[in-house]
Amino acid sequence: MAKQAILMLGAPGSGKGTQAKNLEKEYGFVQISTGELLRERVKVLDELGKQISDFMNVGAFVPDELISKMLVEHIRSAAMDKILFDGFPRNETQIQIFEKLLQELGIEELTPIYLHVEEEELIRRLLKRAEIEGRADDTEGTIGKRIKTYNTLTHPVVDHYATYPNFIQVSGDDQPAEVVWEELKGRLSFK
Ligand code: AMP
């Protein structure tokens, strides 16, 4: 079977993680979330862990070189035919790294999925998540910075993949995650 990859695109709070879990369960994709990898790495209380948390806690990106090294090491440690990328690529430089990685991995089919949610709704959700999960980067000041960074650096990544034939855009506004999932599933052609 052809090696497949999904690229989950969307702002912080758009529901990428939730839909990624659905895609994992339904179609057997393995989710790779760079945010999760970083949060795990931060738990190692060494100098690198501290450097990473210093970036994350103020809502800044960690350097491209560092994130791509972590990603490549993680992928090489497991043989995967169906990979779901969540949180990477996040800027133009990372697109180049990503395209090269797909080639190296022999991925023949890429499906970019974009979850669109209006900014006001994103802020509302992230503040709610802050109450529930207590993530260090879900504070009011940091949320604003992350959304701004998303608009300037990451939205161009969406524009890039919007030209792909398999590109799928789903609205995550004003509807529960289950409804978004049903709509998404209906648009996919995976078996
Ligand atoms: P996320 O869980 O995807 O919202 O990511 C949380 C934080 O991890 C981001 O605000 C960044 O500080 C960092 N991060 C995650 N993915 C990347 C990436 N591809 N490049 C740079 N920083 C990242």
Which tens digit of pLDDT belongs to each residue from 134-170?
888 999 889 999 999 999 999 999 999 999 999 999 9
Between CA 133 and CA 12 the distance in angstroms is: 14
In short, whether 16's Cβ falls inside 6 Å of ligand 1 is no
In short, whether 59's Cβ falls inside 6 Å of ligand 1 is yes
> Would strands 82-86 and 4-9 be described as parallel, antiparallel, or unpaired?
parallel
Q: What is the Å distance from ligand 1's center to 60 Cα?
A: 8
Neighbour count for residue 186 (Cβ, 10 Å) = 8
Q: How many residues does the chain have?
A: 191
Dihedral (CA of 41, 47, 48, 49) sign: positive
Question: 60 pLDDT exceeds 90?
Answer: yes
Q: What does the pLDDT look like over 97-107, one tens digit per residue? A: 999 999 999 99
Between CA 186 and CA 84 the distance in angstroms is: 18
pTM given for the model: 0.95
